[in-house]
């Protein structure tokens, strides 16, 4: 029997974990977890054998199967590891499935551009030739080369189209024979093994194996499970639960085409909440529709923090802002991916690290010229009104409308809108993911200054070492560590490089020095297998 482990306030992602619940009749199932296993932190081979769980031996296991697993496997393959030494345990059909879902519903379909640097290429560990160069050749136009040469001074930052990123990843996916490493199923837990290494318990899809569980016994484990969960804000949940209305008050990370359809059917006012990239994209969609179809959409835009000018602690640390927004090209100041801020953060511990995260944290969005023009036109013509405020109440108001009460700097304001698009989001605590919760409880893992999974500079999960084994983690679960940009394309590659270097020191793969790097790049450039 299965039920969804995804709680009601959590946004459902592809491949989201469905938790296994024991048969209520208490009947034992072949090869299932036993109470003894569940309660024991260190597992011996005998203990697993007694439970009747079959064991598969493989040196390296990656859990998650998203882009984090993909770029790590890419690095290892380039460093000479055969596919037979790697198993990726995943529920996803392909590594970009969850990411593509989230970008698509948040208004970045394949033909739109991501918020990612030209040289952040998950299909190419060298970042050369970058997306801009490849796009210039593909389109036979120097426009993108010129843009990347003068960004961000005379033009916006170049960013690749989502479809370009997915198509090139798919090519690399086949080049490195990634599908050979994939095993479908849901990972339940990782436990340390008596004698070294780890056991990873996989629940394969029902009726595909003779036993309910399969144990992967490996020297190395890589945890890349992505977002523990994306949560709705409490006021949005409260409205939905009280009024059973799931179509007028929506989060931008869930499908919400119905709002755009209703605006096409007749004039209406919509309330957008949030000051991040998703709010920018939603505004663009609303305004594009308005322009293309001659709609009369009125847009109210509420910011909790309304930024009017450059801001920051001192003259050396000022972020640009205006018209409500805090502006920044990418998710973090650019140098976290290789320069000064990366180097600085790497040296910081505890509160000092948390403080620096706080300085460059906060919601922000890129200052794209096309968006600036759209918003300026909207303000001038009176159909776009940004303001500071907080939603204090929402009630249904006939014909699918919503009456929203807002606390603003001018006092309480009441507006009636056709829909509310909430572009804010909360990431769930790491303990809401079963695998991470189990690591914290049974395998010695701990939390970092931002309360996420504590990893070392090599991305080894602190406290889990079991010589000669190692457990590494990458992705958003590790935010708060010595490297900040973990939840980005380039961040995943930086983590992958650190992990590959660590594994090379342990003799698992070859070191990526200048000769191997160049010869492997040449293979990449010709589309030849590693």
Partner 1 sequence: MLPTLNGRIQTRIFLLAVVGGLWTLLISPVLPGIGSGSLAEIYRMTFIVLLTTLILGIGWEFVYHLLQQFRWEKDWPTFFGLITVVNEGVLVWLLLGLGVVPGLAGGVPLSAFLVLFATTWLLVWLAANGPMRVPFVHWRFHGGRLL
| Residue for token pair 């020095």 | 513
In whole angstroms, the minimum distance from the beta carbon of 395 to partner 1 comes to: 41
Name which position in 55, 149, 265, 352 contacts partner 1 (CB under 8 A): 149
Does position 292 interact with partner 1 (CB under 8 A)? The reply is no
Residue 210 or 313 having the CB closest to partner 1 = 313
Name which position in 22, 30, 82, 152 contacts partner 1 (CB under 8 A): 152
Question: 403 has which bridge partners?
Answer: 395, 416
What is the token pair recorded at 482? 């010595």
Contact stretch for partner 1 (CB under 8 A) within 100-108, 188-196, 327-335, 469-477? 327-335
Does position 318 interact with partner 1 (CB under 8 A)? The reply is yes
Does position 339 interact with partner 1 (CB under 8 A)? The reply is yes
Q: Which of residues 94-123 bind partner 1 (CB under 8 A)?
A: 119
Name which position in 1, 27, 315, 380 contacts partner 1 (CB under 8 A): 315
Nearest to 75 by CA among 224, 234, 296, 227: 224
Nearest to 122 by CA among 82, 85, 175, 86: 175
Residue ranges of E strands in 141-284: 182-184, 186-193, 198-203, 214-218, 220-223, 230-231, 249-251, 269-273
Nearest to 48 by CA among 196, 200, 183: 200
Contact stretch for partner 1 (CB under 8 A) within 10-18, 217-225, 311-319, 349-357? 311-319
Helix (H, G, I), strand (E, B) or coil at 334: helix
Contact stretch for partner 1 (CB under 8 A) within 24-32, 220-228, 291-299, 330-338? 330-338
Instruction: State the binding string over 194-233 for partner 1 (x if CB under 8 A, else -).
Output: ----------------------------------------
Name the phi and psi angles at 201, rounded to 5: -95, 120
What is the token pair recorded at 275? 């000051």
Q: CA 292 → CA 252, 287, 288, 380, distances in Å?
A: 21, 8, 6, 19
Does position 362 interact with partner 1 (CB under 8 A)? The reply is no
Does position 341 interact with partner 1 (CB under 8 A)? The reply is yes
Residue 19 or 317 having the CB closest to partner 1 = 317
Contact stretch for partner 1 (CB under 8 A) within 19-27, 179-187, 349-357, 514-522? 514-522
Provide CB contacts within 8 A for 127, sequence distance 6+. 119, 120, 121, 490
Distance, in Å, from the CA atom of 491 to the CA atom of 34, rounded to the nearest integer, reads 38
Residue 106 or 488 having the CB closest to partner 1 = 488
Q: Which residues bind partner 1 (CB under 8 A)?
A: 119, 125-130, 133, 148-154, 312, 315-320, 328-329, 333-335, 337-343, 494, 497, 512, 514-515, 517-518, 521
């Amino acid at each position: 029997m299965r039920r969804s482990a995804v709680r009601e306030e959590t946004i459902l992602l592809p491949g989201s974990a469905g938790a296994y619940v024991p048969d209520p009749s208490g009947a034992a199932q072949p090869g299932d977890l036993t109470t003894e296993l569940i309660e024991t932190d260190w597992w011996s081979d005998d203990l697993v054998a007694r439970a009747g769980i079959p064991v598969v031996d493989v040196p390296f296991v990656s859990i998650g199967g998203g882009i984090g697993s993909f770029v790590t496997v890419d690095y290892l393959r380039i460093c000479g590891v055969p596919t037979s030494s790697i198993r990726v345990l995943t529920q996803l059909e392909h590594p970009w499935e969850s990411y593509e879902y989230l970008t698509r519903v948040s208004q970045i379909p394949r033909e739109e551009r991501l918020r990612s640097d030209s040289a952040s290429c998950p299909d190419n560990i060298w970042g050369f030739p970058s997306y801009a160069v490849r796009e210039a050749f593909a389109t036979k136009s120097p426009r993108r080369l010129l843009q990347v040469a003068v960004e961000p001074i005379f033009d916006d930052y170049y960013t690749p189209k989502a479809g370009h990123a997915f198509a090139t990843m798919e090519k690399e996916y086949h080049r490195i024979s990634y599908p050979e490493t994939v095993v479908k199923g849901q990972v339940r837990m990782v436990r340390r093994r008596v004698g070294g290494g780890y056991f990873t318990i996989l629940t394969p899809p029902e009726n595909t194996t003779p036993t309910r569980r399969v144990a992967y016994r490996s020297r190395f484990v890589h945890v890349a499970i992505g977002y523990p969960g994306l949560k709705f804000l409490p006021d949005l949940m409260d409205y939905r639960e009280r009024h059973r209305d799931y179509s007028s008050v929506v989060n931008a990370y869930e499908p919400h085409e119905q709002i755009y359809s209703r605006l096409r059917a007749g004039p209406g006012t919509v309330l957008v909440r949030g000051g991040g990239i998703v709010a920018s994209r939603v505004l663009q969609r609303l305004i594009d529709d308005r322009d293309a179809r001659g709609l009369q959409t009125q847009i109210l835009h509420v910011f909790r923090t309304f930024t009017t000018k450059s801001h920051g602690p001192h003259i050396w640390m000022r972020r640009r802002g205006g018209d409500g927004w805090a502006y920044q090209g990418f998710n973090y100041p650019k140098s976290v991916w290789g320069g000064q801020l990366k180097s600085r953060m790497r040296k910081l511990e505890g509160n000092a690290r948390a403080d620096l995260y706080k300085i460059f944290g906060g919601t922000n969005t890129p200052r794209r010229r096309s968006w600036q023009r759209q918003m300026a036109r909207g303000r001038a013509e009176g159909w776009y009104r940004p303001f500071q405020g907080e939603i204090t109440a929402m009630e249904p108001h006939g014909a699918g409308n919503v009456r929203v009460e807002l606390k603003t700097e001018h006092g309480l304001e009441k507006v009636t809108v056709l829909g509310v698009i909430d572009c804010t989001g909360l990431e769930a605590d790491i303990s809401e993911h079963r695998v991470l919760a189990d690591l914290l409880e049974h395998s010695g893992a701990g939390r970092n200054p931002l309360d996420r999974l504590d990893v070392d500079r090599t991305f080894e999960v602190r406290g889990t070492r079991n010589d000669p084994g190692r457990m590494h983690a990458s992705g958003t679960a590790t935010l708060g560590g010595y490297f900040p940009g973990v939840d980005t394309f380039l961040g995943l590659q930086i983590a992958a490089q650190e992990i590959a270097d660590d594994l090379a020191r342990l003799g698992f793969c070859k070191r990526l020095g200048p000769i191997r790097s160049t010869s492997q790049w040449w293979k990449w450039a010709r589309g030849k297998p590693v």
